[in-house]
C-alpha cells in the first residue's frame, strides 16, 4: 500500500517532480515531503497523515462540485455536477439565492459561496478578461531616494515628482512596494520583505516639523527613521474628527495591526522573539495589553490614516497632471515570517519553509528568500478573501499594479528552513487567483502587470494573456538564446501585452550594463572569481555591441527610442537611466555588501519633469503614439 504521506502531499498540491533551469530533474524526497506537510500543519507520522487525508477525502466525497469554482460574471452559468442537488448561494454582499439543479443564473462579480447538504465551495465570479490599456509610458523611481541629504523620501516628495513628471507627459510613476515595514528596526529596509502587505509604510509620512536631514550620499535610515517617528508622535491627535471617522469605518484587521505595532515597541520588532503568551493575538495577555495601551494603538492606526491620506493626495496630483494611470505600485511576492501579517493570521501562512527558487546556474542549492508562503488550502477554505484584501489595499491608490513573481500564482517553490533538505514546488489555485486579480482590477479600473521572468511553468503565459494580465519584458533578456552569438530581438518582436523596460531595480542600469559594473560587483564581493569575471565581461562586450547596433546608438535616448518603437502597450524608463547613473538600486543576494535601497537620485522631485532627458524622452514617446 502506498504511503499516506505521499497521497496527502499529492492531494495538497506538492509537486512530485520538476525540471530546473539547467535541465536537471528533481524528485520529491521523503524529507522534503514531510517538511512541507509540517508547514501545512500536518502532525508528523504516517498515521496522522492518514487521518488528515481521510478528513479531506470525506469532504471531497460530500461535495458534488470542485473544491472551488471559477465562473463568469458575464453570462448565466450552468454547472452540470449540480444536477439534482439543492443549493444556496451566499453572495459577497451577504444576500442569498436558493436553487435546485445545474442552472445557477448570472452571478454578480465577486467572491461568493455555494452550499448544500453537508458541503460548501467558494465561487469566484469574474470577467473572463480585463480590457487592455492604451499605449502609455512612465518612469520608475525609488521613493526612498527622493529625499535630500540622506533623509528618506516622503509621500509628499512623491506627489511633487508625480506632478512634475505628469506635466512632462508621463502616464505613470512606478515605485517599489510601500507595504508596512518594521518601524523599530531601521536595518530592515528591503521593500520586498515587509511586515504586512495589507498595510502601508509609515516611514514615508512627512511630519510638518521635519527633523534636520542627516546629510550624506546615501539614505540614512538609522538617523531618519526614529527621528521621523518621534516627530509624527508629536503631531498625533486622537481627537481629529477626520481620523476618528476613518477609523470607525475600518474593520478589526486595522486594530489588530495597530496592536501588533504597539506590542513591537515594547517587545521587539520580531514576534517569534516575544514571550510566548504575546505570540498569540487571541491570548489574555494580549487583550490586557490592548486595554492598557489604547492610546499607542490609536497612534499606529493614525499613521495608517496619514499614509492613506497622503497617497490619496499623490493620486489627485497625478489626475490633475493628466496622467492616465498615476501610481504604479508593486505587490511583494511574500511577507516576512516574523512580521505583523503572520502574527495576526498564522494559519494563513506555511511555517518552517520560505518562498524561494529552485537550483540554477548561479545557485546550485536553490534560493531561500526568507518569506512566508501563503497556504493554498487555507486560501481556498477562506474563499480567497485574504488575497482580495491585499490587492484591494494596493488598488485603492493605484490604477497600475505589478504583482512580483506572478509565477507563484501557478506554483510556489517552498524551501525548508533546514537547508540540507531540498525544496519543492507546491501547486496554487492559479485560475482562482487570476480571477480574484481580475475582480479587484475591474473594480478599480486598473491594469495588472505580472512579473513573469524566470522558469515559467507551461501554460502560465497563455493563462495570463487570456486573463488580460500583462507580462514583463526586459530588453537585457530579450535575446535569441539559441543563436551562436548575442542576438537581440528587434523592436517588432516584443509582446503587445507587456510592460517593457530595459532593466529593473535588480539589474544593472544602462550605463552600468554597458560597463559591466554588475560583473565587477559580483567579483569584488566574491560571488565570482577572476576567470569567471573575464568570461562574463567578454560575453557582455558582445551583448553590448549587438544591442547598440540594433538600436542604432549608445545613448539612453537611443535605448528609449527603441523601447518606444515596440508594440508593447506599456513602457517604463528608469530614472537611473534618465540621469545616466552607473550603479543599480539593488544587487540581489546581498545585504551589507552592496548599498541596496539607499541610493538617492540627487534631483529635487519637483524638477524631474524639467530634465532634458525627460523632456526628450517624452517627445519621442509622443511621436510613437504614447
Residues 58-80 have a mean pLDDT of 96
Average pLDDT, whole number, for the chain? Answer: 96
Q: Residue 480 has what pLDDT?
A: 94
**Residue 256 pLDDT class (50, 70, 90 cuts):** very high
Check pLDDT > 90 for residue 24.
Answer: no
Full-model pTM: 0.95
Q: Which fold has domain 136-623?
A: TIM Barrel (3.20.20)
Of 13-27, 214-228, 519-533, the least confident: 13-27
Q: Residue 1 has what pLDDT?
A: 53
Torsion of CA 596, 601, 605, 610, to 10 degrees: -140
Number of other CB atoms surrounding residue 457 within 10 Å = 18
* Cα 360 to Cα 368: distance, rounded to the nearest angstrom: 13
Decide if domain 63-128 falls under CATH 1.20.58.
no
624 and 494 Cβ atoms separated by less than 8 Å? no
Check pLDDT > 70 for residue 270.
Answer: yes
> Residue 327, exposed/middle/buried by CB under 10 A (0-12, 13-18, 19+)?
buried
Nearest CA to 509 out of 618, 586, 563 is that of 586
- Tell me whether strands 498-501 and 570-574 are parallel, antiparallel or unpaired: parallel
Q: Residue 410 has what pLDDT?
A: 96
3-state secondary structure of 245: helix
Q: What is the pLDDT of residues 283-313, one digit of tens each?
A: 999 999 999 999 999 999 999 999 999 999 9
Q: Residue 548 has what pLDDT?
A: 98
Check pLDDT > 60 for residue 526.
Answer: yes
Q: What is the pLDDT of residues 504-517, one digit of tens each?
A: 999 999 999 999 99
86 and 117 Cβ atoms separated by less than 8 Å? yes
Of 8-12, 211-215, 414-418, 488-492, the least confident: 211-215
Q: What is the pLDDT of residues 42-60, one digit of tens each?
A: 999 999 999 999 999 999 9
Check pLDDT > 80 for residue 365.
Answer: no
Nearest CA to 515 out of 488, 536, 486 is that of 536
**Cell numbers standing for residue 520:** 565587477
Cα–Cα distance list, 473 to 33, 140, 500, 545, 585 (Å): 35, 15, 5, 20, 19
Number of other CB atoms surrounding residue 408 within 10 Å = 21
* Cα 258 to Cα 305: distance, rounded to the nearest angstrom: 11
The residue whose grid cell reads 520608475 is 140
The CA angle 469-471-475, to the nearest 5 degrees, is 160
Upper half-sphere CA count for residue 31 (Cβ side, 13 Å): 9
Check pLDDT > 60 for residue 255.
Answer: yes
Structural domain boundaries of the chain?
63-128, 136-623
> Residue 51, exposed/middle/buried by CB under 10 A (0-12, 13-18, 19+)?
middle
> Residue 378, exposed/middle/buried by CB under 10 A (0-12, 13-18, 19+)?
middle
Residues 589-603 have a mean pLDDT of 94
Q: Residue 458 has what pLDDT?
A: 84
Nearest CA to 586 out of 185, 248, 177 is that of 177
Check pLDDT > 80 for residue 203.
Answer: yes
Check pLDDT > 80 for residue 240.
Answer: yes
* Cα 113 to Cα 362: distance, rounded to the nearest angstrom: 45
Cα–Cα distance list, 610 to 52, 326, 352, 425, 614 (Å): 63, 18, 50, 48, 7
**Residue 367 pLDDT class (50, 70, 90 cuts):** confident
The residue whose grid cell reads 523592436 is 491
**Residue 363 pLDDT class (50, 70, 90 cuts):** low
* Cα 385 to Cα 68: distance, rounded to the nearest angstrom: 13
Write a three-state SS string for 528-559. CCHHHHHHHHHHHHHHHHHHHHHHCCCCHHHH
Amino acid at each position: 500500500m502506498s504511503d499516506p504521506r505521499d497521497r496527502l502531499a499529492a492531494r495538497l498540491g506538492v509537486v512530485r517532480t520538476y525540471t530546473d533551469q539547467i535541465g536537471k530533474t528533481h524528485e520529491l524526497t521523503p524529507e522534503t515531503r514531510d517538511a512541507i506537510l509540517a508547514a501545512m500543519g500536518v502532525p508528523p507520522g504516517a498515521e496522522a497523515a492518514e487521518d488528515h487525508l481521510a478528513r479531506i477525502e470525506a469532504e471531497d466525497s460530500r461535495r458534488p462540485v470542485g473544491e472551488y469554482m471559477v465562473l463568469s460574471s458575464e453570462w448565466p452559468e450552468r454547472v452540470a455536477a449540480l444536477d439534482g442537488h439543492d443549493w444556496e448561494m451566499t453572495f459577497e454582499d451577504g444576500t442569498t439565492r436558493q436553487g435546485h439543479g445545474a442552472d445557477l443564473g448570472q452571478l454578480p462579480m465577486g467572491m461568493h459561496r455555494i452550499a448544500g447538504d453537508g458541503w460548501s465551495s467558494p465561487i469566484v465570479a469574474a470577467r473572463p478578461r480585463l480590457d487592455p490599456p492604451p499605449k502609455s509610458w512612465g518612469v520608475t523611481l525609488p521613493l526612498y531616494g527622493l529625499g535630500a541629504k540622506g533623509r528618506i523620501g516622503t509621500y509628499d516628495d512623491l506627489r511633487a515628482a508625480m506632478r512634475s513628471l505628469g506635466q512632462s507627459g508621463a502616464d505613470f510613476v512606478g515605485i517599489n512596494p510601500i507595504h508596512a515595514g518594521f518601524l523599530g528596526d531601521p536595518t530592515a529596509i528591503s521593500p520586498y520583505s515587509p511586515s504586512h502587505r495589507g498595510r502601508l509604510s509609515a516611514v514615508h509620512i512627512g511630519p510638518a516639523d521635519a527633523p534636520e536631514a542627516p546629510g550624506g550620499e546615501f539614505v540614512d535610515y538609522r538617523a531618519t527613521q526614529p527621528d521621523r517617528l518621534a516627530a509624527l508622535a508629536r503631531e498625533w491627535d486622537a481627537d481629529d474628527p477626520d481620523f476618528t471617522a476613518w477609523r470607525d469605518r475600518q474593520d478589526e484587521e486595522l486594530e489588530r495591526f495597530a496592536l501588533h505595532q504597539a506590542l513591537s515597541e515594547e517587545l521587539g520588532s520580531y514576534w517569534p522573539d516575544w514571550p510566548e503568551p504575546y505570540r498569540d493575538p487571541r491570548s489574555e495577555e494580549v487583550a490586557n495589553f490592548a486595554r492598557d495601551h489604547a492610546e499607542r494603538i490609536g497612534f499606529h492606526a493614525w499613521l495608517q490614516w496619514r499614509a492613506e491620506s497622503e497617497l490619496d493626495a499623490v493620486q489627485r496630483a497625478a489626475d490633475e497632471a493628466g496622467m492616465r494611470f498615476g501610481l504604479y505600485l508593486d505587490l511583494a511576492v511574500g511577507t516576512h515570517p516574523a512580521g505583523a501579517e503572520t502574527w495576526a493570521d498564522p494559519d494563513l501562512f506555511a511555517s518552517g519553509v520560505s518562498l524561494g527558487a529552485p537550483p540554477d546556474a548561479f545557485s546550485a542549492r536553490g534560493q531561500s528568500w526568507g518569506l512566508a508562503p501563503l497556504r493554498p488550502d487555507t486560501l481556498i477554505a477562506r474563499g480567497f478573501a485574504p488575497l482580495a484584501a491585499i490587492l484591494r489595499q494596493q488598488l485603492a491608490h493605484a490604477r497600475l499594479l505589478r504583482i512580483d513573481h506572478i509565477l507563484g500564482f501557478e506554483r510556489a517553490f517552498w524551501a525548508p528552513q533546514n537547508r540540507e533538505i531540498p525544496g519543492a514546488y507546491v501547486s496554487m489555485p492559479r485560475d482562482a487567483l487570476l480571477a480574484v486579480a481580475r475582480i479587484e482590477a475591474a473594480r478599480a479600473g486598473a491594469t495588472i502587470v505580472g512579473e513573469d521572468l524566470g522558469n515559467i511553468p507551461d501554460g502560465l503565459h497563455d493563462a495570463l494573456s487570456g486573463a488580460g494580465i500583462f507580462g514583463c519584458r526586459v530588453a537585457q533578456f530579450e535575446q535569441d538564446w539559441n543563436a551562436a552569438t548575442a542576438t537581440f530581438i528587434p523592436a517588432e518582436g516584443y509582446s503587445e501585452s507587456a510592460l517593457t523596460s530595459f532593466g529593473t531595480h535588480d539589474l544593472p542600469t544602462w550605463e552600468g550594463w554597458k560597463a559591466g559594473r554588475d560583473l565587477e560587483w559580483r567579483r569584488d564581493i566574491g560571488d565570482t572569481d577572476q576567470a569567471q569575471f573575464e568570461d562574463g565581461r567578454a560575453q557582455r562586450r558582445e551583448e553590448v555591441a549587438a544591442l547598440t547596433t540594433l538600436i542604432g546608438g549608445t545613448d539612453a535616448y537611443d535605448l528609449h527610442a527603441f523601447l518606444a518603437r515596440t508594440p508593447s502597450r506599456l513602457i517604463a524608463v528608469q530614472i537611473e537611466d534618465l540621469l545616466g547613473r552607473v550603479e543599480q538600486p539593488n544587487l540581489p543576494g546581498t545585504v551589507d555588501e552592496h548599498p541596496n535601497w539607499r541610493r538617492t537620485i540627487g534631483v529635487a522631485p519637483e524638477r524631474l519633469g524639467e530634465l532634458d532627458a525627460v523632456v526628450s524622452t517624452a517627445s519621442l514617446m509622443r511621436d510613437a503614439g504614447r
